Amino acid sequence: MVSIRMVAAPIQTLNASSISSTYMGIGPRFDHSARVVRVANYTDGLLMFSWNGIDDHFPLLVYTSIVITICNNDQDNSDYFALPALNRLYVREVKPATVGYVCVTEFRGINDA
């Protein structure tokens, strides 16, 4: 049986005071392809998230989070479904956030590119 270990990238955060009605990137682009992404809205505002900084992809209500499981149980590293490297997550406010922050953590396989 093949075993794949997951590695977590450092958490990326953006304070509520930096979030506006236009999309803002959260941290740098991912260095590696991501199999799992956790996004949390620890603000008092309704936020919209985007993978390209243009289109709305998913909202997060006040003080909620989502885990996006792209591919976490694939045992074959040669071909798998994942969020490509050099991608980034963007956020904008739908209802203004006055306190708190948003955070993103991405997880990859130990041998992923």
Domain with 50, as residue range(s), is: 6-109
Q: Looking at the domain assignment, is residue 55 inside a domain?
A: yes
Q: Looking at the domain assignment, is residue 39 inside a domain?
A: yes
Per-residue pLDDT of the chain (113 residues; tens, 9 = 90+): 455 677 888 999 999 999 999 999 998 887 777 888 899 999 999 999 999 999 999 999 999 999 988 775 555 555 556 666 667 899 999 999 999 999 999 888 776 65
Q: Looking at the domain assignment, is residue 1 inside a domain?
A: no
Question: What is the reported pTM?
Answer: 0.84
Positive or negative torsion for Cα 58, 48, 109, 32: positive
Q: What would the two tokens of residue 14 be?
A: 């953006």
Q: Looking at the domain assignment, is residue 88 inside a domain?
A: yes
Q: How many structural domains comprise the chain? A: 1
Q: Looking at the domain assignment, is residue 61 inside a domain?
A: yes
Q: Looking at the domain assignment, is residue 41 inside a domain?
A: yes
Positive or negative torsion for Cα 43, 103, 15, 100: positive
pLDDT of the residue at 1 = 41
pLDDT of the residue at 72 = 55
CATH of the domain at 91: 2.60.120.10
Burial class (CB in 10 A: 0-12, 13-18, 19+), 91: buried
CB 49 within 8 A of CB 59: yes
